[in-house]
Amino acid sequence: MGFFKWVNLFIFLHFFAATPIFSDSTKFLDLAKDPEVFDWMVGIRRKIHENPELGYEEFETSALIRAELDKLGIPYKYPVAITGVVAFIGTKLPPFVAIRADMDALPMQEMVEWEHKSKVPGKMHACGHDAHVAMLLGAAKILREHEKELRGTVVLVFQPAEEGGGGAKKILDAGVLENISAIFGLHVASGIPIGEVASRPGPIFAGSGFFEATINGRGGHAAIPQHSIDPILAASNVIVSLQHIVSREADPLDSQVVTVGKFQGGGAFNVIPDSVTIGGTFRAFSKESFMQLRQRIEQVITGQAAVQRCNATVSFLDEEKPFFPPTVNNGDLHDHFRNVAGSLLGDNKVKDMQPLMGSEDFAFYQEVYPGYIFLLGMENASRERLETPHSPYFKINEDVLSYGAALHASLANSYLLKLNQEAPVVDEKYHDEL
Ligand SMILES: *[C@@H]1O[C@H](CO)[C@@H](O)[C@H](O)[C@H]1NC(C)=O
Ligand SMILES: *[C@@H]1O[C@H](CO)[C@@H](O)[C@H](O)[C@H]1NC(C)=O
Ligand SMILES: *[C@@H]1O[C@H](CO)[C@@H](O)[C@H](O)[C@H]1NC(C)=O
Ligand SMILES: [Zn+2]
Ligand SMILES: [Zn+2]
């Protein structure tokens, strides 16, 4: 065949093949709303809600996930990153597209009185990760039923320790995601109507780091300050100076935060203590701004402490609270998301949003692979208003499970189709599959 004929054939096939990419979306939503799938997801979510487990302790949650995968006949790798489970549906051959759910709960007491309230005092699924697990299992069930249609492999990532533990980083270190072409994630959102989604290309959540500093002086009698070196006054000046980093050194159009949330020192009205410990968090939307903040926080603390004759040691808690990079959505995946979510929910239900100063460890995946995360609405105007995540009164509108499962399944399935259509352009060996 001559070159031009080849090109024409390709264009023809490309268009011919391009049409069905998103046609499964509504089919998947109907399936996810079917009681067989929906009630099953609700049951799983409630079981996990009753037994919340903190980061890297999600052993029973993980066992429940594996039991359901076994029943569905879906193979998986375990343990990955201590409690994580990574499952595979489809051809088991490239291309690979990943979808991710986090599994961990928060160390807080649930205040909602209901039948499936947390049975573990001081632990609660207050961020919706119980729903995230149920939705990813829902997607697994849907994709398993359509496994023969998959044009590659969907990789299901059940990840531990999103809440500060950096579980995503440990999953990456385990190497199981090698060779994936893209990864998708979602987070339930209370302020967005049910059946709607919101996201944006580029930075969506801030990078986040923590710091702790001990400011050492010399304690003594409060009435004889000249014999002491007062760390309380030094720490106070440190905190004021820290507030000048963002207000005087950062570009006002490049959003950043430095907050001191911890101040511990002294215990008596008439004693100057030996030392004071302060701690806080800092946020920025680019790695450059983030590293700049980190450097200046250290300089300001030690420099300002020295002005008051004190010594300071600064730690960024790299072990206990690894910093989260900014969460940055891939632009091409944003287009794919708009197409899939638009055909599944209606174009007017797919909203753009402003970036948020909160952070997500999904960012770790995006540092290595093209990644995309979006917010999934839960608010139903004809019902009660939902509290924001991390509130002890946080609730899930369980109707959301169908939307999440269908979106997960559609995003992955149609991205595999898209990759197959694009493959002939970049890779000889896929010509046969046209
Ligand atoms: C990724 O691809 C390389 C090269 O084809 C292969 O050697 C490796 O085993 C793959 N990794 C995984 C986790 O599948
Ligand atoms: C600060 O450190 C120096 C050098 O280690 C030491 O000589 C000095 O006493 C310290 N000052 C205070 C207030 O801790
Ligand atoms: C909102 O809640 C009402 C009352 O429970 C229900 O009939 C309706 O289907 C819900 N809407 C959506 C989009 O789920
Ligand atoms: Zn959270
Ligand atoms: Zn969360």
The CATH number that applies at residue 7 is 3.40.630.10
Name the phi and psi angles at 319, rounded to 5: -80, -55
Domain co-membership, 249 together with 368: no
Q: For a pocket test of ligand 1, which of 92, 179, 369 has the largest count of ligand atoms closer than 8 A to its C-beta?
A: 179
Domain containing 253 equals 207-315
Q: Say if CB 365 and CB 174 are below 8 A apart.
A: no
Confidence of residue 22 (pLDDT cuts 50, 70, 90): low
Determine the pLDDT at residue 6: 38
Determine the pLDDT at residue 23: 57
- Is residue 346 lining ligand 3, measured as CB closer than 6 Å? no
Whichever domain contains 298, its CATH number is 3.30.70.360
| Distance (Å, whole) CA 203 – CA 256 | 13
Answer yes or no: is 320 within a domain. Answer: no
Q: Say if CB 193 and CB 380 are below 8 A apart.
A: yes
Domain co-membership, 304 together with 383: no
Domain co-membership, 286 together with 354: no
Name the phi and psi angles at 199, rounded to 5: -165, -170
Name the closest-CA residue to atom 1, ligand 2. Answer: 311
Listed residues 315, 339, 365: the one ending a domain: 315
Residue with tokens 């250290």: 298
What pLDDT digit, counting tens, does each position of 208-224 carry?
Answer: 999 999 999 999 999 99
Confidence of residue 21 (pLDDT cuts 50, 70, 90): low
Domain co-membership, 198 together with 211: no
| Distance (Å, whole) CA 276 – CA 283 | 24
Q: For the chain, percent helix, then strand, then coil, each to nearest 5?
A: 45, 25, 30
Q: From ligand 3's centre to the CA of 194, what distance in Å?
A: 9
Answer yes or no: is 195 within a domain. Answer: yes
Domain co-membership, 407 together with 340: yes
Domain co-membership, 11 together with 73: yes
Domain co-membership, 218 together with 166: no
- Is residue 292 lining ligand 2, measured as CB closer than 6 Å? no
Q: Is the peptide bond before 79 cis (omega within 30 degrees of 0)?
A: yes
Q: Say if CB 405 and CB 397 are below 8 A apart.
A: no
Name the closest-CA residue to atom 6, ligand 2. Answer: 311
Q: From ligand 4's centre to the CA of 163, what distance in Å?
A: 6
Domain co-membership, 160 together with 74: yes
Q: From ligand 5's centre to the CA of 163, what distance in Å?
A: 7
Determine the pLDDT at residue 318: 86
What pLDDT digit, counting tens, does each position of 386-434 carry?
Answer: 999 999 999 999 999 999 999 999 999 999 999 999 875 444 444 433 3
Name the closest-CA residue to atom 6, ligand 3. Answer: 382
Listed residues 315, 348, 383: the one ending a domain: 315
Confidence of residue 20 (pLDDT cuts 50, 70, 90): low
- Is residue 302 lining ligand 2, measured as CB closer than 6 Å? no
Looking at residue 324, the DSSP 8-state letter turns out to be: B
> Does 426 or 272 have the greater pLDDT score?
272
- Is residue 382 lining ligand 3, measured as CB closer than 6 Å? yes
Q: From ligand 1's centre to the CA of 45, what distance in Å?
A: 34
Q: Is the pLDDT of residue 8 over 80?
A: no
Domain co-membership, 16 together with 36: yes
Determine the pLDDT at residue 25: 67
- Number of domains making up the chain: 2
Answer yes or no: is 321 within a domain. Answer: no
Determine the pLDDT at residue 55: 97
Answer yes or no: is 297 within a domain. Answer: yes
Domain co-membership, 305 together with 369: no
Answer yes or no: is 344 within a domain. Answer: yes
Could you list which residues have their CB under 5 Å from ion ligand 5? 127
Return the CA Rg of the chain: 25
Determine the pLDDT at residue 399: 98
Determine the pLDDT at residue 176: 96
- Is residue 399 lining ligand 3, measured as CB closer than 6 Å? yes
Question: ∠ at Cα 92 (338, 166), nearest 5°?
Answer: 60
Q: From ligand 1's centre to the CA of 98, what distance in Å?
A: 15
Q: What is the mean pLDDT of the chain?
A: 92
Domain co-membership, 420 together with 296: no
Determine the pLDDT at residue 425: 43
Question: ∠ at Cα 21 (20, 24), nearest 5°?
Answer: 80
| Distance (Å, whole) CA 226 – CA 220 | 9
| Distance (Å, whole) CA 132 – CA 426 | 35
What pLDDT digit, counting tens, does each position of 90-135 carry?
Answer: 999 999 999 999 999 999 999 999 999 999 999 999 999 999 999 9
Domain co-membership, 284 together with 154: no
Listed residues 263, 292, 315: the one ending a domain: 315
